[in-house]
Amino acid sequence: MPKVTRRTAVLLACASAFASLRPTWAQGPSPGDSTTLDEARRLHESGAAVLIDLREPDEHATGVAAGTRLLPMSQLGRRASEIPRDQPVLLICNTQNRSRRAHEALKQAGWRNLRYVHGGMSEWARRGWPMVKP
């Protein structure tokens, strides 16, 4: 997997900061940027996509979807090289706010085959779907 250059890390940090400053009304998703929770579960469980949980470690402790890669949003800039570029990626957090920001930052840094998940892990848990402790 290619290393993240200093330039890419800085771009990710700046894009993430910029995305978090934009007003909510300006952050409307483009078609194809997001997916439903049902579709995300289907893609993840079938192995058709990698599910990356952007919540922080204390949130991961409450439970994660089995097989999920854990990459806290606070570490995204320095660990972006762990996000595959050669397969579909689904970004999930608690509700979709962080995953939407991360999606925008990663797109600006060159990632293409990724979507963020509507509803997030809070909705996953509310539905009673299987979760494991990391």
From CA 39, how far away is CA 14, in angstroms rounded?
30
| Stronger pLDDT, 56 or 4, i.e. the higher one | 56
pLDDT of residue 79 exceeding 50: yes
Q: What is residue 52's predicted lDDT score, i.e. its pLDDT?
A: 98
Q: Is the pLDDT of residue 12 over 70?
A: no
Query: Residue 107 and residue 118: Cα distance in Å, rounded?
Result: 17
CB-based contact 118:95 (threshold 8 Å): no
Q: Where are the alpha helices (DSSP H) in 22-75?
A: 37-46, 57-60
Give the bridge partners for 90, in sequence order.
51, 115
Question: Stretch 74-103: mean pLDDT, rounded?
Answer: 96
Phi/psi at 48 (nearest 5 deg)?
-80, -10
The CATH architecture one would assign to domain 6-126 is: 3-Layer(aba) Sandwich (3.40)
Confidence of residue 113 (pLDDT cuts 50, 70, 90): very high
CA distances from 53 to 19, 32, 95 (A): 19, 19, 11
How confident is the model at residue 32, as a pLDDT?
A: 72
Higher-confidence position of 22 and 38: 38
| Over residues 55-76, mean pLDDT | 96
pTM, two decimal places: 0.79
Q: Which residues of 35-74 are buried (b: 16+ CB within 10 A; e: fewer)?
A: bebeebbebbeeeebbbbbbbbeebbeebbbeebebbbbe
Q: How would residue 23 be classed by pLDDT, with cut points 50, 70 and 90?
A: very low
- Mean pLDDT along residues 61-75: 96
pLDDT surpasses 60 at 102: yes
